[in-house]
Structure formats: C-alpha cells, structure tokens
Structure 1
C-alpha cells in the first residue's frame, strides 16, 4: 500500500491506538504490546524492513531468536510472540497485508525450535558460487565473498562484521579484532579461505568502491557508494543467498553464526572454547548448539542406521 498505513512504524502506532480504546484490554496488556512492538520496530530498522508487507515470518522468527539469544526468559519470548501475532492479525483484518505472517509464528520452546543451521555441503556450494562470481573481479562480488567467508569462519555477529576496520585484521596471525555486545572487545581466528577472500577484496574490490566515496574510510567492508557497509545492507546480501537454499527458518546473517558454532561442536570443539569464540557472557547461551548437534546426530542416525 502507498499510504502511511503501509509503513511499519505507522501501522504499529495505529494498532496501539486501536488496542488502547474500546477493546477492554488491561493497561498491562497494552503496555506489553507497546514495549514488544517498539522492540520489533528497532530490530526491523536495523535490517532495512520498513514496510508492513516486508515484515515476513522469517523476520519475526529472527526477532524472537534475537531476544532468546539476549537471554530473555521463555515467558517473555512467548509474550512477544503473542503481541506480534495480535498485531499481524489486526494488520490483515484492516487490509494492510493480504496474508498474516504471524499465523505460523510460535515462541521458541527449547530444542523443538532450534536455530537454522546450513549443512557443510550447502555452505561449500554457496561459497563456490560466490567465488565464481568474484572471479570476474566485480567489486561487489569480491566484497560479498569476503563478507560471507568471514561471517562463517569467525562466527561473528553482523554488527561486529560491519564495525571492523582494516587495521583490526591481522592477516599473518589469521585473527580479527571485533567489538561485541556491551562494548566488549575480543580477538577471533579465521581460516585461510577467509583470508584469501578478504585479500582479494582488499586488493581488487575495496579500492574501486573507495574511489566512489566522498572521503577516506577505515572500514573493512564498504557499500556500493564507498561508505561503510551498514547492517541492513549486509543482512540483504546474506538473505538473498540463503533464500535459494533448501530448508526452513531465519535467513539472516545469524544463520552463519549458528552454523559455524554447530559445525565446531560437530567437529569436537570444546563448549567453553566456542563460548569464548562467540563472545557469549553465559555458557547457557552457547549450550543451545549442543542441542542442535544432538538433533543433527539423531537425524543422521535415523537416516543411516539399519536398525534405527
């Protein structure tokens, strides 16, 4: 829709006005709706989602998972799910959207709602495709290859990725310094394929895009106009890639973080080492990946063992 109701912010304001008058809801419920939906607006703004029609099921699932990763209680996640379902139902009833994305949304419940993990073969296929595109020396393709290689290799958050400066890289030691949640700095390793992709970007791609900028920049990753790449742009790059892969679940950059952590544990990495790599304050947050690994192991067993 083209009128103001089509913007997510305007729709949320209209819904909150609707809930505050004539519905017989308690002040506590209205206050919960407001807090939850304002958080959703902030989450969507970071990802470039500003239309009601673009607030898809995957976006909503990513939002719930982000809250879970921040340590919100299960009851809080369940309340958020309820709040957003009320909003999307109202948006559908009022004609702002034709399909209600909240109908299939459920609050995460332990191991039954695990983060999306891409298989090793899928990661390899995806990266091979990016490398083929980058072989033409197209600067955006070189950047996208380096971006995804580093996301997967270092298991970093997208906010950490876009905050990296060129000086934060140590290509000799294969490490990068990132600034995590709460302003906590950590140094994380990455592998040779990621180093090669980053060097290709620095040598043949970044100078081209930097030439389009109004001035110098220390940022490792640049947008097409030469400024520092933003979170929403990085999100779009990854979402486009993942939408072509089979499987369900969120399709944002966090998928590569989930995938890297799970592959590390599958390969025998110590849980506390993975916690340090990811920058989790609590080991409990990291333990979700042990559930993912166990679920994957059970699936392999069921499909491969003759007596399963």
Structure 2
C-alpha cells in the first residue's frame, strides 16, 4: 500500500501538470497536506480509514492552536481538493471533507494611503541616482496600476507598451491581463529604463529581461520591494504601516471613491470573483461625512 506522502506526491504532480497551478499554490497545498499527514500519524489513522469524526478532531486542534479562520478555510479547501483527487483515482472510498463547511471569515477593512501621504512618497526619491529612478518607477507603477507585488517583480521590460500606455501582467494562475498606466507612471518608467536600469544592469554579466533590478543588477525580489517601500516611508517621515499590498488597496479605494464602477475595478485588479473586489467598497469617514452633509436634505448646510 502506498504511503500518504506518495499520494501527496502524485497530487502535487497533478496540480503542476494537469491544473497548471503556480509554484506558490503547489507549495501551499503541500504544506497543508503535510500538516494533516502529521496529524493522522499522531492519531494512528490512515488516508483509507480517515472519517468525519477524525476531521472534527483535526479542526478542534486548529482552534486550540488559535489559527485564523482564513488559515483554517484554506486548509479545508486544500484537503478537500486532495481527497477529491484520491476519490477520483479510486484510492479512497469517499471524501471526508466533502460536507465540511468553511468557517465564516472576518474580513478586515483594507489599509490604504491617503492621497497626501502618497504625495510625500512620490517626492522622496533622488531622481539623479539609478536606485532613486527605480524606486520612483516602482511606486508609480504599483500605485498607478494596482498590480500585486508578485506581478510587479515578474514584469519584464518588453511587457510595457508606451504607445498604448499599457502593461502586460502575469497574474494569479498564470492568467494574463493588460492594465493601463497614467502619465506619471509612464514618465517615471521611461526615465528609469533609459537611464537608471542600464546602469544597474551593467553591474551584472548575465543579462536579465526583468524590469526592476536590485543594486547589484539582479532581479528585484518581493522582499526587496518590501525593503524599498519601508525605507521610502521612513525617509518621508511617515508614521504609517507599509506593505506592497497597501498600494494596491489605495489604487482600488481611490478609484471607487472617485466614482469608478466595481466591475471595472475588478477587471483592473485581476480578481476572478466580484466578492474579492467588494472589500474595497468602504469609504473614508471624511468622505462619508461630506457625502451626507452635501446630499441629505436635513443636513446642517450653512
């Protein structure tokens, strides 16, 4: 009889070859399955005799360990897919995760920058240096398009079309989409490509097509982007938290605040489901108050 890890290996190959899943998705599935295999070993059960009561014990352990609802939901989804694969291959009789409901998630309101804060970030880079030009192009592109940090670091110079002011984005699940960028991002990108990027690229013998390079001429990583943004916030003397997704949140929030429709924002962000975009329908307290004061017939208009 095959071991649980052998079944896991077959499932990983299925995800890669048949489902064309991204390496990160495969990594997450693998981690969740490994955790469940470890649980089964501790309870002396196998994939073949795993049943709903065992699932309840597993979920109670998750609760005791204080995992977030989001993490538990992901694990249930991963294991449900794993057992669905095993059932299809006739390796198990049925899927014990089939009727396990996902815990209701607490959806936090996304953090975003106010426009005044962004103005400070846009003026902090030293545009006479290669890294300053890169940083300016980086933040203008991320805020100007709302792309994910993973999409940003994978972007190549050839993905930019300056005649149409659009960028080709390699999104989640290897889905491609085109996003427009404005004049500020276009100007910053051109300056960086024509000057700063060439100087950075000359520091490394191997040529790379990646758009954003680090100080040594290699491709800029996601962690590198986080460090760049953290330093920019510090240099701008802003007392706010910073992470790359905050620029994406700001992009969506500002578009909706200015009247953009939800479907268009969904397409720009590359969301598969509209529900993912609806978390951005919050508005700032100031704007909410202004709408009320300017629109309600019984508001105090003086």
User: Same fold by TM-score, threshold 0.5 exceeded?
Assistant: yes
- Give the equivalent residue in structure 2 for 1:143: 134
- Give the equivalent residue in structure 2 for 1:119: 114
- The 5 A counterparts of 1:10-21 are none
CA distance in 2: counterparts of 1:245 and 1:303, whole angstroms: 30
1:173 aligns with 2:168: no
1:164 aligned to 155, 159, 170, which one?
A: 155
SS in 2 for 1:176: strand
* CA deviation vs aligned residue, 1:107-159 (integer Å, no higher than 9, x gap): 9744xx311111112111210222xx11x2x1111100000000000110000
Greater CA drift, 143-152 or 227-236:
227-236
1:245 aligns with 2:238: yes
1:221 aligns with 2:212: yes
Contact 1:108 1:114 in 2 (8 A): no
Query: Aligned-pair distance for 1:294?
Result: 6.0
CA distance in 1: counterparts of 2:114 and 2:173, whole angstroms: 31
Query: Aligned-pair distance for 1:29?
Result: 4.6
- The 5 A counterparts of 1:32-71 are none
Contact 1:177 1:188 in 2 (8 A): yes
- Structure number with greater CO (CA < 8 Å, separation at least 6) is 1
- The 5 A counterparts of 1:17-28 are 28=59
Question: Under a length normalisation based on structure 2, what TM-score does the superposition of the two structures give?
Answer: 0.63
Structure 1 gaps of 5+ residues are: 1-12, 21-25, 37-63, 80-106
1:182 aligned to 156, 170, 173, which one?
A: 173
Equivalent pairs counted in the alignment come to 216
CA distance in 2: counterparts of 1:116 and 1:168, whole angstroms: 29
SS in 2 for 1:129: coil
Query: Aligned-pair distance for 1:240?
Result: 2.6
2:278 aligned to 255, 262, 287, which one?
A: 287
Distance 1:141 1:109, change over 3 A: same
1:257 aligned to 245, 248, 256, which one?
A: 248
CA distance in 1: counterparts of 2:280 and 2:290, whole angstroms: 16
Distance 1:232 1:34, change over 3 A: farther
Question: Under a length normalisation based on structure 1, what TM-score does the superposition of the two structures give?
Answer: 0.61
RMSD, aligned CA: 3.4
CA distance in 2: counterparts of 1:193 and 1:237, whole angstroms: 19
* CA deviation vs aligned residue, 1:21-46 (integer Å, no higher than 9, x gap): xxxxx65454678896xxxxxxxxxx
* CA deviation vs aligned residue, 1:237-279 (integer Å, no higher than 9, x gap): 11233354244xx521100100011111111111100000000
Contact 1:239 1:253 in 2 (8 A): no
- The 5 A counterparts of 1:98-137 are 109-110=106-107, 113-130=108-125, 133-134=126-127, 136=128
CA distance in 1: counterparts of 2:210 and 2:273, whole angstroms: 30
Contact 2:170 2:177 in 1 (8 A): yes
1:153 aligns with 2:148: no
Query: Aligned-pair distance for 1:304?
Result: 9.7
Contact 2:124 2:232 in 1 (8 A): no
CA distance in 2: counterparts of 1:32 and 1:177, whole angstroms: 42
Q: Which structure would you say has the larger Rg?
A: 2
CA distance in 1: counterparts of 2:60 and 2:290, whole angstroms: 44
Distance 1:162 1:173, change over 3 A: same
